[in-house]
């Protein structure tokens, strides 16, 4: 794959394709440009015979802050969330194992991306929040991979409250697989173990484990829920309050 300009880096070394979110200025938010580059990088990793494992990483202190709400507020009809199922499919259905390296906060759609990976390793300082409800949105699309990982009681609490929770809590509820002070060392250990598996066996095992409804039809149903809310006055107020750095109108 040709080297992309700025927002996503792609490198293949020793059978490992490293896909790096590299837009720290806006906290690796899922802008239209970043979504496009990320999709292209994931496609390249999936189809490159030299790639046996995919590492999803990031530059800057934030893993991913979710959808770019400033962009969404400026173009309210665009609804970039419609592209999110395709990205989640590229991760969950990649024939190669995908490891997410989370060295900082993840929010909303950013959690969906890491939840779609096979193995997630987080730094102790990483924090998480399903912040959608606090800006008048519904975490419908990301619920597909998230609910495959998170315990039901924790899902109800955290998706409804939008509260920030720690890496330790994320480990407890199954959102991440490991929390490590030596983040890169822990990631390297998982990569070594995965590279020891046969490529065909790994692809077949991934397909076997994907016993969930992540069909296009299911995503379409969830997108209808999400898109309707995105188009609502409540969501517009949420996006404006975020852009203007003030409490939303429903907060008293």
Q: What is the pLDDT along the chain (252 residues), one digit of tens a residue?
A: 444 458 999 999 999 999 999 999 999 999 999 999 999 999 999 999 999 999 999 999 999 999 987 776 656 555 677 899 999 999 999 999 999 999 999 999 999 999 999 999 999 999 999 999 999 999 999 999 999 999 999 999 999 999 999 999 999 999 999 999 999 999 999 999 999 998 998 998 888 787 667 788 888 888 888 888 878 888 888 888 888 889 888 876
Domain 8-182 classification at class level: alpha beta
Q: How far is CA 200 from each of CA 93, 164, 190, 205, 252, rounded to the nearest angstrom?
A: 14, 39, 18, 8, 56
Give the length of the chain. Answer: 252
Nearest Cα neighbor of 47 from 82, 83, 73, 12 is 12
Other residues' Cβ atoms within 10 Å of the Cβ of residue 225: 13
pLDDT confidence of residue 3:
44
Could you list the active site residues? Answer: 132
8 has which bridge partners? 21
Q: State the first-to-last Cα distance of the chain, in angstroms, to the nearest integer.
A: 50
């Amino acid at each position: 794959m040709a080297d992309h300009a700025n927002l996503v880096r792609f490198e293949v070394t020793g059978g490992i394709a490293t896909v790096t979110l590299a837009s720290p200025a806006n906290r690796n938010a899922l802008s239209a440009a970043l979504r496009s580059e990320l999709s292209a990088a994931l496609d390249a990793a999936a189809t490159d015979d030299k790639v046996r494992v995919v590492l999803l990483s990031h530059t800057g202190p934030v893993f991913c802050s979710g959808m770019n709400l400033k962009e969404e507020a400026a173009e309210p009809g665009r609804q970039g969330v419609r592209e999110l199922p395709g990205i989640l499919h590229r991760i969950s259905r990649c024939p190669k194992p995908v490891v997410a390296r989370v060295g900082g906060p993840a929010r909303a759609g950013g959690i969906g991306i890491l939840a779609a990976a096979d193995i997630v390793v987080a730094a102790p300082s990483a924090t998480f929040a399903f912040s959608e409800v606090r800006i008048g949105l519904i975490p419908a699309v990301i619920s597909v991979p998230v609910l495959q990982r998170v315990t039901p009681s924790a899902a109800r609490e955290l998706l409804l409250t939008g509260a920030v929770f720690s890496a330790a809590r994320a480990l407890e509820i199954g959102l991440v697989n490991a929390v490590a002070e030596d983040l890169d060392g822990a990631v390297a250990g998982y990569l070594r173990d995965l590279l020891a598996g046969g490529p065909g066996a790994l692809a077949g095992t991934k397909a076997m484990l994907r016993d969930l409804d992540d069909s296009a039809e299911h995503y379409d149903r969830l997108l209808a829920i999400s898109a309707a809310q995105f188009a609502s006055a409540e969501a517009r107020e949420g996006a404006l309050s975020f852009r203007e750095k003030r409490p939303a109108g429903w907060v008293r």
